[in-house]
Chain A
Amino acid sequence: MKPRLPVLVLFCVVLLSCQKAERGAQIPDASEYSRWEQPIRETLDYPIPGHEDNRRRIFINPQGTEVRIERRENRVYWDYPVGTIIVKEIITGLQGSETDYPFQITAMVKAPEDPQSRGGWIWVAKDVDSGEQTIVDWEFCFDCHANANEPHPYGDGNTADEFRDYVFHPYRER
């Protein structure tokens, strides 16, 4: 009798491994996201907790530009559609050229059904040198971005206390 059972078990293990690898959000390549819209055209060059003295450039994919804004019970709610990806390039130093390469790329991926999501978003960080990608499933990114839903010191400051769906620099049609 041929050893079918071990082969079957091995096949299942490989299949499950593949499925596991495909799960979770993936940060797209620069060649892709660099063609996306930028919610804020300028490179952000002031220090902030979390990224300290490093510049940031932000991109949003086409799904993200379909953000819905509605008023409910005297408060404005921003709701980015599922599949929205907001990429943030982190570039060393507060001074430099526009062509400098990032050392880290972070992304928010709208996937409320994903068990790893917090606040409806999956928070991902990728080290450019090693290519290693980490889903930040603890408080760090989420806690900070939760401040976007109340008045804060960045961008327009959200002085109207809108629910900005954890986004400090919301996309606005130009």
Chain B
Amino acid sequence: MKGFVPLTRKINLIIVSSLVVGVGVVIAYFAFTQNLSLRETSQGNLRQQSDILFQSIKNAMLPGEAPIAVQLFEDIRLANPAYKIFLLRASGVQAFSDNSTIETVNATLGFRSFESKEVFPRDVMIMEEDLNFSTSVRERRPVLFQESREGKTFFTIYKPLLNLPKCTGCHGSTHTIRGVISITSDITPVVNQQRNNLLIASGFFVAVVLVLTLLLSLYLHGTLVRPVKHISQVCATVTNGDFHPRVVVSNRDEIGELGETVNHMVEGLYERFELSKFVSSSTIQSIRDHEKGAKEQMTLFFSDIRSFTSYSERNSAHDVVVSLNRVLNFQTRVIQKNGGDVDKYVGDEIVAIFSGQRKEEHACLSALEIQNEIMHNRERYNGLTVGIGINTGEVILGMIGSEKRADFTVIGDHVNIASRLCDTAKPGMILVSEGVYREIREGARARGPYHLKVKGKESDLHVYQLLAMKRRSA
């Protein structure tokens, strides 16, 4: 078969693609949502912490207690090293790193309310160019972002500290942002967990797909592929003429039904095959061609065993059947060898038909061979002899009979004449009509014409006794 694609490959393709898509989507969804949830939880925690810190710092700084805020930052840093917390001015410089705010406040108040400080932090944080920081200051809103550096991942939130109306008394009203709280949280463990989740999900996905593919393949191979292959093998064997194999039906499903149907079909085919031995080739051909009836030129060959009734009375039934079948078998073989078709057996009589360009010659050659064999081998046929009549002409071919039982056979006047010639022929004699003789006389040796009175015919028929004949070259 051209472009043959095995069922196994198609099924495996369907299984694998279904599993990859189905299981993949589910696992990817769960891995994605779990990672998203982890991320959102981390962000939420950071926002919450920044809110709490924001409120603490805001309230601590209100009454001019900046040192409390500074100490708060230090305490948080010490308590949780995973967090880096800074308060930056809008300019990006770490707050409380110099006296500029104190000087601004004193200037706004108009008197020296706060004393300048002498000691400042050693490592002052100065924000370099940072788009997120400048966005937070410009848009006056918190900005949360993720960044990776030195193999670690951090969430950072910048939260502007507003210059509230109640602060303007000391800090003035000309600016909106007093500072920006920067909180950085190391989320490397979370990121690692996300990566591990993905790795585990991928591994799980591969394992599930492999195991399910294997199990489904085995199952489908057992329930679908193997039975179909078995049915295919049975069909192939039957096609080659062996009607004995049967489908072993073990499935209780459509495949099982198919197997039973194939078995019934094979049994039916076998029966028809056996029956075809008892039916003429023309009958089979006519069934194939759905023929209803036709007129054709044919040569009719009738052969009948002489004195068969008395023979059957003298011999046992078994011997009769054996002898009869031997004679009929031989005649049939000769007729078929010469291109004839046995139309039917009527008791000890054979009715055969020949068609084609040299039908008369073929029928006569068959008759001569039969008579020679039987006459020269009398013992083999228990002394049985045959008389043969041959006629040629237009006959009617058709399915004759009822809807229940019918034969595809020949009828017509020429058939009756051939039968009459057969009845007239003595043992070992071949009688042919004038029409037959006309076609074979070159190379044939015959006696006649004799006049034969036929019932229903006004004038006598001219008939010849065929004695010998040469086979013409093809």
Chain A positions within 8 Å of B, measured between CB atoms, are 46-50, 52-53, 138-140, 143-144, 147, 150-154, 168
Residue B67 at the A interface, CB < 8 A? no
Q: List 13 A-B contacts (CB under 8 A).
A: A46-B173, A48-B173, A49-B164, A50-B162, A52-B175, A139-B54, A140-B140, A140-B141, A147-B166, A152-B165, A152-B166, A153-B168, A168-B165
Chain A residues with CB under 8 A of B175? 49, 52
Q: Is the CB of A140 within 8 A of B165?
A: no
**A51: shortest Cβ distance to chain B, in Å?**
8
Q: Is the CB of B174 within 8 A of A144?
A: no
Q: List 14 additional contacts besides A47-B174, A50-B176, A144-B165; criterion CB under 8 Å.
A: A48-B165, A48-B173, A49-B162, A49-B163, A49-B164, A49-B167, A49-B175, A50-B140, A52-B174, A140-B140, A140-B160, A147-B165, A153-B166, A154-B165
Complex-state Cα separation, A144 to B178, whole angstroms: 13
Chain A residues with CB under 8 A of B176? 49-50, 52
Complex-state Cα separation, A138 to B167, whole angstroms: 20
Q: Is the CB of B164 within 8 A of A147?
A: yes
Chain B residues with CB under 8 A of A53? 174
Interface SS, A side: loop
**B448: shortest Cβ distance to chain A, in Å?**
84
**A60: shortest Cβ distance to chain B, in Å?**
20
Chain A residues with CB under 8 A of B165? 48-49, 144, 147, 152-154, 168
Residue B142 at the A interface, CB < 8 A? yes
**A124: shortest Cβ distance to chain B, in Å?**
15
Complex-state Cα separation, A49 to B162, whole angstroms: 8
| Nearest 7 pairs of A and B residues by beta carbon | A49-B163, A147-B165, A49-B176, A47-B173, A152-B165, A138-B141, A140-B140
Residue B169 at the A interface, CB < 8 A? yes
Chain A residues with CB under 8 A of B174? 47, 52-53
Chain B positions within 8 Å of A, measured between CB atoms, are 54, 140-142, 160, 162-169, 173-176
Residue from A49, A52, A139, A154 having most chain B Cβ neighbours under 10 A: A49
Q: Is the CB of B173 within 8 A of A49?
A: yes
Closest A residue by C-beta to B177: A49
Out of A46, A144, A153, which one reaches B169, CB within 8 Å?
A153
Out of B160, B168, B169, which one reaches A48, CB within 8 Å?
B168
Complex-state Cα separation, A151 to B175, whole angstroms: 20
Residue from A139, A143, A147, A150 having most chain B Cβ neighbours under 10 A: A139
Chain B residues with CB under 8 A of A147? 164-166
Out of A49, A138, A168, which one reaches B142, CB within 8 Å?
A138
Closest B residue by C-beta to A145: B165
Complex-state Cα separation, A47 to B162, whole angstroms: 15
Complex-state Cα separation, A139 to B51, whole angstroms: 10
Chain B residues with CB under 8 A of A50? 140, 162, 176
**B80: shortest Cβ distance to chain A, in Å?**
24
Complex-state Cα separation, A48 to B176, whole angstroms: 8
Chain A residues with CB under 8 A of B162? 49-50, 139-140, 143-144
Chain B residues with CB under 8 A of A154? 165
Closest A residue by C-beta to B140: A140
Complex-state Cα separation, A154 to B173, whole angstroms: 11
Complex-state Cα separation, A140 to B176, whole angstroms: 10
Chain A residues with CB under 8 A of B169? 153
Complex-state Cα separation, A147 to B167, whole angstroms: 10
Residue from B160, B165, B173 having most chain A Cβ neighbours under 10 A: B165
Chain A residues with CB under 8 A of B140? 50, 140
Closest A residue by C-beta to B173: A47
Complex-state Cα separation, A84 to B454, whole angstroms: 129
Complex-state Cα separation, A130 to B140, whole angstroms: 20
Residue from B163, B166, B173, B176 having most chain A Cβ neighbours under 10 A: B173
Complex-state Cα separation, A139 to B142, whole angstroms: 9
**B104: shortest Cβ distance to chain A, in Å?**
14
Closest A residue by C-beta to B141: A138
Complex-state Cα separation, A44 to B54, whole angstroms: 30
Complex-state Cα separation, A96 to B181, whole angstroms: 37
**A108: shortest Cβ distance to chain B, in Å?**
16
Complex-state Cα separation, A46 to B168, whole angstroms: 12
Chain B residues with CB under 8 A of A151? 166
Complex-state Cα separation, A143 to B165, whole angstroms: 10
Chain B residues with CB under 8 A of A168? 165
**A119: shortest Cβ distance to chain B, in Å?**
14
**A153: shortest Cβ distance to chain B, in Å?**
6
Chain B residues with CB under 8 A of A139? 54, 142, 162
Out of B141, B166, B173, which one reaches A150, CB within 8 Å?
B166
